[in-house]
Structure 1
Amino acid sequence: MGECIKNLSPKVIEQILETSFSWFVVVDKNARIIYINKEYCDFLEVERENVIGKYVGEVIENSEMHLVIEKGVAQIAAPHYIKGNYMLPNRIPIYVDGEIVGAFGSVMFRDVNDWKKLNSHVQKTLEKIDENMKSTMESLNSLPSLIGSSNAIRKIKETISIIAPTKLPVLIEGEIGSGKELCARSIHHLSDRYEKPFVNINCSIIPIDLLEVELFGKWDGTNLKKGRLSLADGGTIYIQEINELPFTIQAKLLKMIQEGTIQPVGTDHEISINTRVLVSSNIPLLDLVKAKKFREDLFYRIQSITLLVPPLRERIEDLPELIQTFINKFCAEAGRRTIKVHRKVLWALQNYDWPGNVRELQNIIQAIVHLADGEEITEDSLPFHLRRKPSNFIRSNGTLEEILSHVEGQVIKEYLEVEKDKNKIAEQLGISRSTLYEKIKKHNL
């Protein structure tokens, strides 16, 4: 076949590519465009001579050609949101002598509706994809996609793939914002319950006196108000911050897990349900059991399968992929081209502790995308606490006590220059408000 292709003149090949039904783009190993046919340019509303040599993400929104090059894995009929529509492109890595030299992308179905007409089964599948895609625009966590390729995330993905098909309860532990709900949704999505409801309840935001009704429902003498356990019948319930559940409700939940029955408030009648229970806590439950603040029997019933979700600072190698994912998401929402990230910005983000984890990163990138004026995220676009450069605090003379006092005064002075709220400054410095005022007075600030 190679010989046959060699017999075709460049003009013949160009004519085939230009008049084909498909839109074509070819990029080099750095994901820069080396060929794009005119039909695709017309759709993108760009001039071909102006985009040759450009990074593909600058020309085609939400492009994943760079990922195909990085991973060396083809993407076939992967839904692609572009200019207000979902299309079905194929993205293929190009190998020469065993090495990736670029990638080839083609759009066969320019509207997902064209493909839906081919097969009723495909139509049902794509309707689900449409629903999930719309949910993504509302919340990143709505799709069970654990972003990252670090060892920690790979192990979690492997564990989820093993435990998802079972009916066993799962305990998910990790810091706030680390992605516990995403793990729960992934478990549900990969189970045989994925077509049934996924019901979420956060025990930390519901008043204690309403928790029992919210979970188990209530009989008012005439009608039965279903609780969330019943609403999840056949599917999965995800109970966030289970450590907030009172002991009496813990006992009822234990019975439900063991016997598959619940007793709504206001009745002695029991109802059978088939609901898988996933729970999470941002406090190690074993510590609460030892402190007699959580039922030991319930703990041992739910902890046989435990997922420990690492904080972002312990998987910082996933940061570039997370950043690019959030940029693509929020640029699509804002209707703008993908923004580049300056290397100094990436360095600053990689050297931050991320106390709010992935959720904090998501919020920061969202703000940057919507506020940035240019096509590149610079240090000036970052919140002050991320771009603040070390000051020359250290003085070379004096006693140790004098040097430390000088440093203390300079630190507090710098905080006061950018933040007027003394409560926030005290919180960031890890001291009380009264101690902060004492130090302000001490240093005449």
Structure 2
Amino acid sequence: MKSLINNLSPEVIEQILETAFSWFVVVDKDAKIIYINEEYCKFLEVNREEVIGKHVTEVIENSEMHLVMQHGVAHIAAPHYIKGNYMLPNRIPIYVDGEIVGAFGSVMFRDVNDWKKLNSHVQKTLEKIERNMNTSMNQQERFPNLIGSSNAIRKIKETISIIAPTKLPVLIEGEIGSGKELCARSIHRLSDRFEKPFVTIDCSSIPKELLEIELFGKWDGNTLKKGRVSLADGGTIYIQEISELPLTIQAKLLKMIQDGTIQPVETDEEVPINTRVIVSSNSPLTELVKTKQFREDLFYRIQSITLQVPPLRERIEDLPELIQTFINKFCVEAGRRNIKVHRKVYWTLQNYDWPGNVRELQDIIEAIVHLADGDVITEDILPFHLRRKSSNFSRSNGTLEEILNHVEGQVIKEYLLVEKDKNKIAQQLGISRSTLYEKIKKHNL
């Protein structure tokens, strides 16, 4: 730093001090002025030559430069009343070899109103930037729990971004463990209700005779015991496994969605409610409507916005990202360094059907993170049913040529899922890069 300063001529340094700050003053360890720029002198209506060597308090009204040196603490944007105005100066102690040898001050804003104007401008600019950032925010930031970049997941994220600001009910369908609740929470998080409660109720885990009370509450004497819907007032109620809801309660839910009122048990009184409804089902409701197990009118009221969450086996390209996310999470929880996944483990996991979907994957990764001895997850610590499944690699029917062609496609696909560098893939497979590209095109990968 000293060598850089030494490269500057006195004329350059003087020009910087005269023009870089509107008003600028330097004092020595006795708080006597050793430099003050011409602009400051004009404001103070003093002659520069006459004030050099004077104590700063004799020249600048209400100056606290001497206090900065006494305490060794900088004053940043500290209001300073001078000549009838409040200004915002910075006062900085100067250290050499650990000792204070002086201080310098610079006036950032000659008038607090200037600061207010700038602050208002900065605030508006920041708000504009924030709005733009929110519009173009990385999907991972907007959907921290919806992991994946497959076409199916991208489509779900886009749909959620569109429907979240509305008040419309939403139906989410998908297999067990596929991530329906994560979608519901994302809708709530991106809506204007995000500061209000997000309340869940699983209809499959509550006795049917208690569901009505759990949902809508009950009058007990002069006291209303609130149900889940009332607890979510202003926010969102997420009803899991709505297919388990008895038909009579379905009718009350329909009335709530249409009229914005609920009727607690043991009363005829209707209570106004402002709760957004999101429901989910593990199986298509259309089949239940056909068999009269689900009200047709309720179905048509909730199905106008339907999210179909794909099972993990239909978006297997998301598997590496999901695996790494869960490994990072559980390594932190277990207090251990991040561990890597052997390529054979990836292949095994990619060839599994995942009947339990993302939830099953998460549980398996949590287990193997705790079971892994070293820094690499190997096949021997995978659950037995996964290892057994991976051995059934090729098709059992078809000609030899068809089977070999299928295996070739599977191998290349699995390499592509775990390695982006095609040069490395070609090298590992013992083929040229051009041959690899031909095979990628051949198998539509």
Normalised by the length of structure 1, the TM-score is: 0.56
Distance 2:383 2:145 in 1: 27
Task: Tell me the residue number matched to 1:350.
Answer: 350
How big is each residue's C-alpha offset from its partner over 1:67-106, in whole Å with a ceiling of 9 and x where there is no partner? xxxxxxxxxxxxxxxxxxxxxxxxxxxxxxxxxxxxxxxx
**Which residue of structure 2 aligns with residue 147 of structure 1?**
147
| Corresponding position of 1:363 | 363
5 Å-filtered alignment, 1:24-43, equals none
- Give the equivalent residue in structure 1 for 2:341: 341
Q: What amino acid is aligned across from residue 261 of structure 1 in structure 2?
A: T
Corresponding position of 1:192? 192
1:368 Cα shift?
A: 0.3
1:387 CA drift (Å): 1.3
Partner of 2:300: 300
- Do residues 158 (structure 1) and 158 (structure 2) align? yes
The answer to whether the aligner puts 1:222 opposite 2:222 as a matched pair is yes
Q: Secondary structure at the match of 1:326?
A: helix
TM superposition outliers: structure 1 runs of 4+ over 3 Å: 389-392
Q: Which amino acid aligns with 2:168?
A: L
User: Which residue is 1:390 aligned to?
Assistant: 391
Shift in CA distance, 233/144, structure 1 to aligned 2, threshold 3 Å: farther
Distance 1:156 1:361 in 2: 20
Write out per-residue CA displacement over residues 346-405 of structure 1, whole angstroms, 9 at most, x where no aligned residue.
01000100000000000000000111111110000110111125389xxxxxxxxxxxxx
Q: How far apart in 1 are the matches of 2:253 and 2:347?
A: 46
How much does 1:309 deviate? 0.2
Partner of 1:313: 313
**SS state at 1:380 partner:** helix
Counterpart of 2:182 in structure 1 is 182
Following the alignment from structure 1 to structure 2, what is the Cα–Cα distance between the partners of residues 191 and 336?
Answer: 37
Q: 1:391 to 1:188 in 2, by over 3 A?
A: closer
2:269 matched residue in structure 1? 269
> Does structure 2 conserve the Cα–Cα contact (< 8 Å) formed by 1:144 and 1:183?
no
What amino acid maps onto 1:390 in structure 2? S
CA distance in structure 1 between the aligned counterparts of 2:155 and 2:392, rounded to whole angstroms: 40
Counterpart-to-counterpart distance in 1, 2:258 and 2:391: 56
| Deviation at residue 324 of structure 1 after TM alignment | 0.3
Q: What CA distance in whole angstroms lies between the structure 2 residues aligned with 1:391 and 1:313?
A: 16
State how far apart, in whole Å, the 2-side matches of 1:256 and 1:319 are.
Answer: 40
Whole-Å separation in 2 of the counterparts to 1:342 and 1:270: 60
Letter aligned with residue 300 of structure 2? Y
Rounded to whole Å, the distance in 2 between the matches of 1:173 and 1:352 is 22
1:241 has 2:238 as partner: no
Instruction: Give the secondary structure class of the aligned counterpart of 1:196.
Output: coil
Aligned to 1:397: none
- Distance in 2 (CA, whole Å) between partners of 1:271 and 1:168 is 20
CA separation in 1, counterparts of 2:154 and 2:342?
Answer: 28
**Structure 2: distance between partners of 1:391 and 1:180:** 31
Preserved CA contact (<8 Å) 1:313 1:354: yes
Distance, in Å, in 2 between the alignment partners of 1:217 and 1:344 is 53
SS at match of 1:204: helix
Instruction: Name the counterpart of 1:287.
Output: 287
Alpha-carbon separation, structure 2, partners of 1:224 and 1:192: 28
8 Å contact kept, 1:229–1:237: yes
Distance 2:310 2:194 in 1: 25
Task: Give the Cα–Cα distance (whole angstroms) in 2 for the partners of residues 386 and 152 of structure 1.
Answer: 25
C-alpha separation between the residues in 2 aligned to 1:313 and 1:215? Answer: 34
CA distance in 2, matches of 1:274, 1:250: 18
> Match of 2:258, SS?
helix
Helix, strand or coil for the counterpart of 1:278?
strand
Which secondary structure state, in structure 1, belongs to the residue aligned with residue 265 of structure 2?
coil
The structure having more radius of gyration, on CA atoms, is 2
Q: d(CA) in 2 for partners of 1:222 and 1:375? A: 62
CA RMSD, 1 decimal: 2.2
Cα distance in structure 2, aligned partners of 1:283 and 1:145: 23
Aligned residues: percent identity? Answer: 83
Measure, in 1, the Cα distance between the counterparts of 2:364 and 2:372.
12
Task: Please tell me the residue identity of whatever aligns with 2:237.
Answer: I
| Counterpart for residue 231 of structure 1 | 231
- Residues 293/144 of structure 1: CA separation in 2 closer, same or farther (3 Å cut): farther
Looking at structure 2, the residues matched to 300 and 364 of structure 1 have their Cα atoms a distance apart, in angstroms, of 38
CA contact (8 A) 1:243 1:294 kept: yes
Q: Where in structure 2 are there 5+ consecutive unaligned residues?
A: 8-122, 124-142, 394-445
User: Deviation of residue 145 (structure 1)?
Assistant: 2.1
* Residue-by-residue CA offset, 1:230-280 (whole Å, 9 max, x unaligned): 000000000000000000000000000000000100111111010000000
Which piece of structure 1 moves more, 380-389 or 154-163? 380-389
**Superposed displacement of residue 144, structure 1:** 5.3
- Measure the CA separation in 2 of the matches of 1:237 and 1:293: 22
Alignment match, 1:111: none
Tell me how far 1:223 sits from its aligned partner.
1.2
TM-score w.r.t. length of structure 2:
0.56
Q: Tell me, in whole angstroms, the C-alpha distance in 2 between the residues paired with 1:340 and 1:372.
A: 10
8 Å contact from structure 1 (residues 144, 189) kept in 2: no
Alignment pair present for 1:210 and 2:207: no
2:170 alignment partner AA: V
Q: Whole-Å Cα distance in 2 between the matches of residues 222 and 191 of structure 1?
A: 35
The residue correspondences of 1:64-79 to structure 2 (distance < 5 A) are none
| Structure 2 CA distance for partners of 1:144 and 1:244, relative to 1, 3 Å | farther
Partner of 1:96: none
The count of residues paired between Structure 1 and Structure 2 equals 256
Check the 8 A contact 1:144/1:182 in 2, yes or no. no
